[in-house]
């Protein structure tokens, strides 16, 4: 959705390294925003985005000299709202007209609890983008892991040929090298004090991961994560930082079904993959992150 950062660019580079032609779509999708959400204020930085994409160059591995081929993005697709929604679009779902796509049974958990119509908007717009571009491969970031898995389900259920499920790639989350904060366009909303405490969610998830690997129950892991958030809230207060932390959720879900794990569930085997995810408000900025617990060999690229 624009406001490109290193996380987006890492997806572009992976595509450039693996494909002859790479198309980047930039579209702030109204259908992903509920009436109370930040559509109007969402960062739009198209001129800067285009400069970043123009600067991207990859020398793919070849049998000949690397200089014989330099790949750059072949096209940037920047459609208008009218082009993407010929019947019109409003943020209130009950007032929308036209054709929309829902992935039933996979959209109400995790992020779907707080944003119940979000994945309806994602599934609809990505289907349109796939129909327009017909990509052989498509690349999505792990930071929005539920979105990526839902889209794999979508292309499977709709029998799409471009891309097929095995050609929809999930790329590990790009992070700040100093404190591990997941890169996000919404990070630009953070105040200086907010940026200091923004890694709290990452720290909480890492504590839960450590407990899970040590044999703790899901309930115990979640408690570890919540304790980190509470500790950081108290630390921010003691340091007189002008920031408010509020945990939205921390949860553990089965990677295939998205079903919530039972409170007394424990790690069974490395082959078992569990989504450990959460959302945290830093003032009014909502940050999300996740860790995949278990063997991700066949999940992440």
Distance CA 55, CA 226 (A): 42
Burial 175-212 (b: 16+ CB within 10 A, else e): beeeeebbbbbebebbeebbbbbbbbbbbbbbbbbebb
Distance CA 101, CA 207 (A): 37
Collapsing DSSP to helix, strand or coil, 141 comes out as strand
- Roughly what angle, to the nearest 10 degrees, separates helices 145-157 and 118-133? 60
How far CA 263 is from CA of 217, 219, 221, 251, 289, in Å, comes to 7, 5, 10, 10, 21
- The structure tokens listed for 9 are 């660019």
In sequence order, what are the residues at sequence separation of 6 or more whose Cβ sits closer than 8 angstroms to the Cβ of residue 282?
190, 194, 197, 198, 200, 243, 244, 245
**Active site positions, annotated:** 8
Distance CA 225, CA 290 (A): 12
Burial 35-60 (b: 16+ CB within 10 A, else e): eeeeeeebbebeeebbebbeebebee
């Amino acid at each position: 959705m624009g406001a490109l950062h290193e996380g987006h660019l890492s997806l572009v580079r992976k595509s450039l390294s693996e494909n002859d032609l790479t198309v980047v779509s930039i579209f702030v999708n109204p259908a992903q925003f509920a009436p109370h959400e930040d559509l109007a204020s969402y960062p739009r930085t198209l001129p800067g985005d285009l400069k970043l994409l123009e600067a991207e160059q990859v020398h793919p591995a070849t049998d000949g000299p690397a200089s014989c081929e330099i790949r750059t993005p072949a096209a940037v697709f920047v459609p208008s709202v009218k082009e993407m929604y010929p019947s019109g679009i409003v943020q209130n779902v009950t007032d929308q007209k036209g054709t929309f796509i829902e992935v039933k049974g996979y959209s109400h958990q995790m992020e779907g609890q707080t944003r119940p119509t979000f994945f309806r908007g994602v599934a609809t717009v990505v289907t349109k983008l796939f129909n327009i571009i017909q990509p052989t491969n498509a690349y999505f970031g792990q930071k929005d892991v539920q979105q990526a898995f839902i889209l794999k389900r979508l292309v499977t259920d709709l029998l799409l040929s471009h891309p097929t499920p095995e050609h929809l790639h999930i790329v590990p989350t790009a992070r700040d090298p100093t404190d591990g904060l997941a890169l996000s366009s919404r990070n630009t909303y953070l105040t200086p004090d907010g940026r200091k405490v923004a890694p709290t969610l990452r720290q909480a998830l890492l504590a839960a991961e450590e407990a899970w690997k040590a044999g703790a129950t899901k309930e115990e892991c979640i408690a570890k994560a919540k304790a980190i958030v509470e500790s950081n809230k108290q630390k921010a207060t003691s340091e007189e930082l002008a920031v408010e932390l509020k945990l939205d959720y921390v949860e553990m879900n089965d990677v295939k079904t998205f079903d919530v794990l039972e409170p007394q569930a424990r790690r069974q085997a490395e082959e078992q993959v569990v989504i450990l995810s959460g959302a945290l408000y830093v003032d009014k900025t909502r940050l999300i992150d996740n860790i995949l617990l278990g063997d991700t060999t066949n999940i992440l690229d």
